Amino acid sequence: MKRFGAFVVKEFYHIFRDYRTLLILFGMPAVQLMLFGYVITNEIKDARIAIYDPSKDVVTRTISDKILSSGYFILERNLNNVAEIEDAFRYGEVGLAIIFEPEFAKKMEKTGTAHLQVIGDASDPNTANILVNYVSGIISNYLISINSEKIPHQIIPETRMMYNGELKGVYMFVPGLMAMLLMLISALMTSLAITREKELGTMELLLVSPLQPVQIIIGKVFPYVFLAFIDAIIILILANTVFHVPVLGSVSLLLGESFLYICMALSLGILISTITSSQQIAMMVSLVALMLPTILLSGFIFPVENMPWILQAFCYVMPPKYFITIIKSIMLQGNGLANVWHETLILLGFTLFFLILSIKKFNIRLA
Amino acid sequence: MNDVTLTPDIRTKQGMAISSENIILVKDLVKKFGNFIANDHLTFQVRKGEIFGFLGANGAGKTTAIKILCGLWYPTSGELNVAGYDIYTQREKVKQNIGYMSQKFSLYDDLTVFENIRFYGGIYGLRKNEISERAKSLMEKLDLSSARNKLIRDIPLGWKQKLAFSVAMLHNPKIVFLDEPTGGVDPITRRQFWNLIYEAAHGGTTVFVTTHYMDESEYCNRVSIMVDGRIAALDTPEKLKYQYNASTMDDVFIRLARGK
């Protein structure tokens, strides 16, 4: 046990003397969270629009007011004639233009129908779509409000977005970010640590000594479990205090699941290190085989259900996918173990699988 | 810094107490990698207290043999007894009683001299006061006391080499295995290193050293030469030179390698 202690102490020395490692371990989570939270946002606020209103009557003014007071839009300019519309878009001044037809209110009264045109800048199709939908929504609401007395039957849908009422993007990002960062720290760092030992030739000396191979692996891994866990806590605290992401469920369950995920990623790191001989290769394998799939195939950013079936099949072998589900379930929905036991078991299975495979490979190499 | 003396003080092989007791017993050691036979029925004994040189060209099977003796690799077949323990059933005891120094000197670059010593002392189960005592005398002997808190990457190669050897000896093993320990150092440093080996041997430690520097074989009590996975010759350097009618061990080797 004392031998093991001496070994673990050495591992901590390696970590704290390597500034790059420290940067990755502690700088990255904070930076990534800030990046995703503040910079990369798919919510639209203060989109600049132009309005061409040749009619200037009560109805058009009401509609314009409603649009501008929704919080989504800012009036960049009032257009004076049709020719100015194209310029407004070409120079990138606005993302949306609203054009009322002349004598709007009069037409509505006489014929019951009036036209308005909503033009979006679809060089960014996602944003354009969202903006157009916002406007359509506002107009529908307006119609309902003015028609409510005249029409006997109505269907008025009332929408409610559960667990994330304001549709804040950051709620989606935090679980994915945790999955990604913990995977990076645990798997990448572990595989680097072990291959570094091999590269230096010091692994031989460790194997000749009375230290058991099991002690060596656990000794290598232990500091990273510890540090990754601290990172998980940092991310959760930041997400909660800075971005107000709620933690509705049990915090201890959340931390327990994170710990399981860390162990899974560590075993994966160990497995990678048994099949690679140099740090460079270990890093490449970790990045390509782990990070990219984690980001793209885990449901972090792109929903699994929308992918072609063959990729969906891949997704089911991605451990991060299950972890993200668990985190969302606990944090945003407030669920307990009863709802996530299925995914928890899968993560456990992955962990055991990687561990057993690593031990086998380690032994083969020794023989 | 250890000064370079012009007439190196080499202790000689005279006065060494070599017992007739065998401390390494190898019988019909075979190691195969697939169809390639790296060690082909090796049989030899090493006596307690001797300096045993394990020579051979690159690829002859020296490194394989030494790794098997150290417990790093498993033999395909054969009997092995190291430091009085059977390599198959008493591996742990073997490991506790041997030291090892690899070609790469196996010290951690980003740890200090003292931290390295403390680490290896720790994994061999030495107590804290034992470690600090031995560290102190070791550093004094090697004139490294001033470098106690220097990182390994900042000390010269010659010092690293001597430190690596001393660390391998830290737990007073019965046998110390040296795998090409003098690679990459200048001839004077090599001579100084051999002083350390002699000192260890005079103190009763058996030294098993592999090298492809034939002149170093003269420093050994007995030498074995491996060719193509087999032991082609095993005797004292003097007897080998007589047997092969050669004036240097280089010549012995060439004659052996040629006449296969």
Q: Do B122 and A6 touch (CB under 8 A)?
A: yes
In this structure, which amino acid lies at residue A97? Answer: A
Q: Provide, as residue numbers in chain B, all residues whose Cβ is less than 8 Å from the Cβ of A7.
A: 119, 122-123
Task: Evaluate whether A315 touches A304 at the Cβ level (below 8 Å).
Answer: yes
Q: Convert the pLDDT of each residue in B109-131 to its tens digit.
A: 889 999 999 999 999 988 889 99
Q: Quick one: CA dihedral A292, A293, A294, A300, positive or negative?
A: positive
Q: Does residue A2 have a pLDDT over 70? A: yes
Task: Evaluate whether A351 touches B58 at the Cβ level (below 8 Å).
Answer: no
Work out the pLDDT band at B13, boundaries 50, 70, 90. Answer: low
What is the largest distance, in Å, between two alpha-carbon atoms of chain A?
97
Please give, rounded to a whole number of angstroms, the shortest distance from the CA of A203 to a CA of chain B: 8
Cα(B86)–Cα(B80) distance, integer angstroms: 6
Domains of chain B, residue spans:
22-97+174-258, 108-172
Count each helix (H run) and each strand (E run) in chain A, helices first. Answer: 17, 4
Q: For residue B242, how many other CB atoms are within 10 A of its CB?
A: 12
Sequence-distant (6+) residues with CB within 8 A of B170 are B99, B117, B120, B121, B124, B126, B134, B138
Phi, psi for residue B12 in degrees, rounded to 5:
-105, 175
Q: Convert the pLDDT of each residue in A110-153 to its tens digit.
A: 888 888 889 888 887 778 888 888 888 888 888 888 876 666 66
Q: For residue A319, how many other CB atoms are within 10 A of its CB?
A: 25
Interchain CB contact of B66 with A (< 8 Å):
no
Work out the pLDDT band at B4, boundaries 50, 70, 90. Answer: very low
Q: Do A201 and B104 touch (CB under 8 A)?
A: yes
Tell me which residue has tokens 């291959």: A195
Chosen for mutation from B123, B149, B179 (greatest number of chain A CBs closer than 10 Å) is B123
Chosen for mutation from A205, A215, A362, A363 (greatest number of chain B CBs closer than 10 Å) is A205
Q: Do B100 and A208 touch (CB under 8 A)?
A: yes
Q: Assign residue A242 a region (left: φ > 0; alpha: ψ between -120 and 50; beta: otherwise).
A: alpha
Q: Which of residues 228-257 of B touch A (CB under 8 A)?
A: none
Q: Convert the pLDDT of each residue in B46-69 to its tens digit.
A: 999 999 999 888 788 888 999 899
Interchain CB contact of A15 with B (< 8 Å):
no
**Complex ipTM value:** 0.80
| CATH architecture for residues B22-97+174-258 | 3-Layer(aba) Sandwich (3.40)
Q: What is the mean pLDDT of residues A64-88?
A: 87
Cα(B178)–Cα(B66) distance, integer angstroms: 9
Going across the sheet that includes A96-100, the strands are: A73-79, A47-52, A96-100, A116-120
Q: Does residue A365 have a pLDDT over 90? A: no
Angle at B122 between CA B118 and CA B123, to 5 degrees: 125
Domains belonging to chain A, first-starting first, are: 2-40+168-366 (no CATH), 47-147 (3.40.1710.10)
Work out the pLDDT band at A166, boundaries 50, 70, 90. Answer: low
Q: Tell me the percentage of chain A whose pLDDT exceeds 70.
A: 91
Sequence-distant (6+) residues with CB within 8 A of B245 are none
